[in-house]
C-alpha cells in the first residue's frame, strides 16, 4: 500500500453510504413506515429499536435508532438541515412525487434551485428531505451556473407546481425547458419554507 505524502488534504470517500437518524421510542414505528414508503424501500433488519432500510444494492441507506428518553427535535437549534435523494430524470422525480401523494406524503417545498429541480418533504420527526434531479447534463455546467450573477442574487431558487409540470410533460413540453430556472431576481431567506 502506497501512502500519499500529501498532508495538505484528506483523501475523499468513494461515496456517502448511509444516514442514521435518532428518534423517540414513541415515533420509531412511524419513522420506519415513513422511510420505507418514502424511499420505496425495504427493511433489512428491525429489532424494535434499531432498523436498517435500503432502496438499492447497499445493505442500508437509512438507519433509525430509538433512544429512550430522547426529547423531540427542536427546530430552533443547529444541526443537519436535510438529506437529499437524487433521481436520474425529471419524469422519475415527478412520478415519485405522485406516488408519495397517493401515500399522503405531501411536499413541503417544490423549487427549482437552478442546479437542481427539487421537492422537499418533512419526516414525522421534523427532519427535512430533498428529492432532486440535476438541471444540467454535467456537474461542471451546474458548478458554472452557481457562479452566475443570477444564482448569486438568488441562491434559493424559484418555486414550481409539480402537478403543473406533470401536465406540461403530458402535453409534450421538453424536460430541458422545465429544468431551466426562470429568473425572478433576488429572494430573501424569509420566503424559504424549510428554514
pLDDT 10s digits, 152-193 = 999 999 999 999 999 999 999 999 999 999 999 999 999 998
Mean pLDDT of 61-69: 96
How far apart (Å, rounded) are the C-alpha atoms in residues 159 and 78? 25
- As a whole number of Å, the end-to-end CA separation of the chain is 46
Work out the angle between the directed axes of helices 162-170 and 90-102 (0-180°, nearest 10).
120
Mean pLDDT of 87-97: 97
Which tops the pLDDT comparison, 74 or 88?
88
Which residues, at least 6 apart from 101, have a Cβ–Cβ distance to it below 8 Å?
none
Mean pLDDT of 48-72: 95
- Whether the pLDDT of residue 4 is over 90: the answer is no
- What is the model's pLDDT at position 2? 67
Residue 26 CA, distance from chain mean position:
25
- What is the model's pLDDT at position 3? 66
The verdict on pTM exceeding 0.95 is no
- What is the model's pLDDT at position 1? 67
pLDDT band with cut points at 50, 70 and 90 for residue 139? very high
Domains of the chain listed by start with CATH number: 16-68 (3.10.180.10), 82-195 (3.30.720.110)
pLDDT band with cut points at 50, 70 and 90 for residue 8? confident
- Whether the pLDDT of residue 5 is over 80: the answer is no
Question: Please, are residues 115 and 146 in contact by the beta-carbon 8 Å criterion?
Answer: yes
Which residues, at least 6 apart from 71, have a Cβ–Cβ distance to it below 8 Å?
24
Q: Which residue has cell 444564482?
A: 151
Amino acid at each position: 500500500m502506497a501512502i500519499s505524502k500529501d498532508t495538505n488534504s484528506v483523501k475523499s470517500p468513494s461515496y456517502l453510504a448511509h444516514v442514521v437518524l435518532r428518534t423517540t421510542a414513541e415515533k420509531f414505528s412511524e419513522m420506519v413506515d415513513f422511510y420505507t414508503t418514502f424511499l420505496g424501500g425495504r427493511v433489512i433488519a428491525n429489532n424494535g429499536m434499531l432498523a436498517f432500510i435500503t432502496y438499492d444494492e447497499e445493505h442500508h441507506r437509512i438507519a433509525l435508532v430509538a433512544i429512550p428518553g430522547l426529547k423531540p427535535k427542536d427546530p430552533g437549534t443547529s444541526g443537519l438541515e436535510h438529506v437529499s435523494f437524487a433521481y436520474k430524470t425529471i419524469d422519475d422525480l415527478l412520478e415519485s412525487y405522485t406516488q408519495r401523494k397517493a401515500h399522503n406524503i405531501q411536499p413541503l417545498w417544490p423549487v427549482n434551485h437552478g442546479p437542481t429541480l427539487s421537492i422537499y418533504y418533512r419526516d414525522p420527526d421534523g427532519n427535512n428531505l430533498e428529492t432532486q434531479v440535476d438541471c444540467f447534463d454535467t456537474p461542471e455546467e451546474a458548478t458554472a451556473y452557481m457562479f452566475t450573477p443570477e444564482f448569486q442574487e438568488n441562491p434559493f431558487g424559484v418555486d414550481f407546481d409539480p402537478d403543473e409540470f406533470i401536465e406540461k410533460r403530458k402535453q409534450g413540453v421538453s424536460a430541458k425547458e422545465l429544468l431551466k430556472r426562470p429568473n425572478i431576481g433576488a429572494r430573501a431567506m424569509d420566503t424559504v419554507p424549510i428554514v
